[in-house]
Amino acid sequence: MKPDLHTHSTASDGTLSPTELVTLADSCGVDLLALTDHDTVGGVAEAAAAAASFGIPFVPGVEVSTLWHHHSIHIVGLGVNYTDGVLDSAFARVGSQRLARGVEIGRKLEALGFPGAYEGALRFAKNPGSLSRMHFARWMKLNRYVPNVQDAFDKYLGDGCPAFVETVWPTVGEGIRIIRSAGGIPVLAHPGRYKLEPEHPLSSLVELFVSEGGRGIEVCSGSQSPDTERSIEAFARRHGLFASVGSDFHSLSGHRPRPGDLHPLPEGLDPVWRHIPGLSESFRSA
């Protein structure tokens, strides 16, 4: 199998439309795909239709932004019901929050010597309500303020950096409940990526995630170092969490792998796709 259960489109901060993303995934040999845009399911219907035309089994998904000890923690929801309006209602305030945060990020970047950042970032956002730090990073790269988008995060936009603006996202528990209210499986996204303090280690985050009803964890992720996967695998085994795989693909010009370009899960883990409602029996036994 070649699954990819964490990808992004222009519905949030990806650079490919949902149809273009599915087309790329097909060319990469992906045989199970989820679209998991940030705090929106606006691209899921288009992606589902494109996947059906290619014969790719598709998982409707979302990536929910949450906050834990001043760190942005992302939770992927897999197998969500995106048609009944539950998620649309849950994310109704997120768009205005993202725009307000964007204005403040723009002010901070201007004070650092980068004028016009807010307006520049908006030009990268097809959906203004999904304005994200990634859009600012792309603007900074375009204007040669940084060599790549990761450098923009490392120096300016990442948690605790000079242009970082904390937003009052839902708590981890609230994010989990949003996903479960839509019938989805909550999966802790790229846990090896978070730069946590010793007094708030990843083990504490995972324990909270489990206690609040989290069910899965991304063991193989395109946005965390492979060196972290052994410890993530250990968390999955210790807590009985379903194991997931996701490229976290955003752009062909980015540093993350293309859809599906990840190594298989370690032996003995319980793949999350065995538990996603609506998939065929062949996936449940894979």
Counting every residue written for the chain, the total comes to 286
Spatial CB neighbours of 214, under 8 Å, sequence gap ≥ 6 = 75, 172, 176, 186, 187, 188, 241
Decide which of 129, 157, 185 is a domain's last residue. 157
**Which of the 8 DSSP states describes residue 218?**
E
65 and 138 both lie in a single domain: no
CA dihedral 45, 94, 158, 223 (to 10 degrees): -20
72 and 208 both lie in a single domain: yes
In one letter, which amino acid is 137?
A
pLDDT means per 10 residues, the chain with 286 residues, are 96 96 98 96 97 97 96 96 90 86 96 97 89 95 95 94 92 97 97 93 98 98 89 97 97 90 94 89 66
Q: Is residue 139 part of a domain?
A: yes
Q: Is 24 left (phi over 0), alpha (psi -120 to 50) or beta?
A: alpha
Rounded to 5°, the CA angle 262-268-269 comes to 60
**How much is the pLDDT for 184?**
97
Helices 133-142 and 94-111, axial angle in degrees (round to 10): 40
102 and 29 both lie in a single domain: no
**Which of the 8 DSSP states describes residue 12?**
T
75 and 113 both lie in a single domain: no
Decide which of 126, 157, 188 is a domain's last residue. 157
The CATH number of the domain where 106 resides is what? 1.10.150.650
149 and 258 both lie in a single domain: no
151 and 246 both lie in a single domain: no
203 and 252 both lie in a single domain: yes
What backbone torsions phi and psi does residue 229 show, to the nearest 5 degrees? -65, -30
The CATH number of the domain where 263 resides is what? 3.20.20.140
Listing DSSP states for 137-174 in one string gives HHHHHHTTSSSSHHHHIIIIISTTSTT-----PPBHHH
Listing DSSP states for 229-254 in one string gives HHHHHHHHHHHTPEEEEE--B--TTS
185 and 273 both lie in a single domain: yes
Q: Is residue 165 part of a domain?
A: no
What backbone torsions phi and psi does residue 33 show, to the nearest 5 degrees? -130, 140
In one letter, which amino acid is 25?
A
Q: Is residue 53 part of a domain?
A: yes
Q: Is residue 164 part of a domain?
A: no
Q: Is residue 82 part of a domain?
A: yes
Q: Is residue 162 part of a domain?
A: no
111 and 194 both lie in a single domain: no
Task: Specify the number of domains making up the chain.
Answer: 2
Cβ atoms 180, 78 nearer than 8 A: no
Q: Is residue 209 part of a domain?
A: yes
Report how far residue 125's alpha carbon sits from residue 11's, in angstroms, rounded to the nearest whole number.
Answer: 9
Reported pTM: 0.89
Domain containing 142 equals 94-157
| Gap between the terminal Cα atoms of the chain | 8
41 and 80 both lie in a single domain: yes
64 and 100 both lie in a single domain: no
Q: Is residue 12 part of a domain?
A: yes
193 and 259 both lie in a single domain: yes
